[in-house]
């Protein structure tokens, strides 16, 4: 079975003390993850070392950065490099989140560079893709998301692609009052896998594809039951211990 992942994206939330408390509450739930399951915590940069320390003895728990820069080092004030992340033992990095694309102008070419540098430091990219409302309403979501994959991932070899996690975010279903159905989630995940299959063959069946459209405690089990949904990239619900615990327990 493909790796099933519950990934928490805390975004720019929580104080240091609140972050410690949240991790402790989740650890105290004593969740026993199976060999094919993982929990990943994408925490703000100041909390990476703390989270790494807190989760050090927890099996199948990992820490992710929420972003990194395209260069190894240099005069890039305010940026954080993949080399820095590797030096403190960070395993994952979220790349191309819709907020990074929208607010900070990150495009597919830049994200290809970030993918490359993460892989060169043995950090697993969680590559985000997804379409805004205008694209969904025009019915061109499949080609739109396919283009994101082509421009950011298709330069990779099959062996490199195996090291990528993909997260599909239906941007139109986040904060718009509209809701993506489980059928729509499965439809897009199946399309993504088909697109990868055309380029890479059977390797596509080994790639974990997470769903990132308002995953909550009360819909996670239904979403994760879809054959091509391999877990979730969870925003708001990951900030509530009881909710994220339930989401972790919903992995198949």
Catalytic residues: 97, 169
* Cβ atoms 4, 38 nearer than 8 A: yes
CA-to-CA distance for 17 and 96, rounded, in angstroms?
Answer: 28
CA-to-CA distance for 162 and 164, rounded, in angstroms?
Answer: 6
Q: 64: helix, coil or strand?
A: strand
The DSSP call for residue 207 is -
CA distances from 82 to 27, 76, 148 (A): 27, 13, 22
Which residue blocks in the chain are alpha helix, DSSP H? 16-28, 48-54, 82-87, 98-104, 108-120, 133-138, 141-153, 158-161, 182-200, 220-224, 241-249
Q: 201: helix, coil or strand?
A: helix
Question: Among 199, 222, 208, which residue's Cα sits nearest to residue 7?
Answer: 208
Question: Among 58, 11, 9, 54, which residue's Cα sits nearest to residue 167?
Answer: 9
Question: Among 173, 246, 180, which residue's Cα sits nearest to residue 216?
Answer: 246
């Amino acid at each position: 079975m493909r790796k099933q992942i519950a990934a928490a994206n805390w975004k720019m939330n929580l104080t240091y003390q609140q972050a410690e408390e949240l991790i402790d509450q989740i650890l105290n739930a004593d969740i026993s993850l199976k060999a094919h399951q993982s929990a990943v915590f994408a925490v703000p940069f100041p909390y990476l070392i703390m989270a790494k320390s807190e989760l050090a003895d927890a099996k199948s728990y990992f820490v992710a950065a929420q972003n990194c820069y395209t260069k190894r080092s240099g005069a890039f004030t305010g940026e954080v490099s993949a080399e820095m992340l590797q030096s403190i033992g960070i395993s994952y990095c979220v790349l191309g989140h819709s907020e990074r694309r929208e607010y900070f102008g990150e495009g597919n070419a830049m994200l290809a560079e970030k993918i490359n540098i993460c892989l060169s430091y043995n950090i697993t990219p969680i590559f985000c893709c997804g379409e805004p409302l205008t694209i969904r309403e025009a019915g061109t979501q499949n080609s739109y998301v396919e283009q994101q994959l082509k421009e950011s991932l298709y330069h990779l070899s099959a062996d490199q692609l195996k090291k990528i996690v993909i997260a599909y975010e239906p941007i139109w279903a986040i904060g718009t009052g509209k809701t993506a159905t489980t059928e729509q989630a499965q439809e897009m995940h199946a399309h993504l896998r088909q697109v990868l299959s055309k380029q890479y063959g059977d390797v596509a069946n080994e790639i974990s594809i997470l769903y990132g459209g308002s995953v909550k405690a009360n819909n996670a089990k239904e979403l994760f039951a879809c054959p091509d949904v391999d877990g979730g990239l969870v925003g708001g619900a990951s900030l509530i211990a009881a909710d994220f615990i339930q989401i972790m327990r919903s992995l198949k």
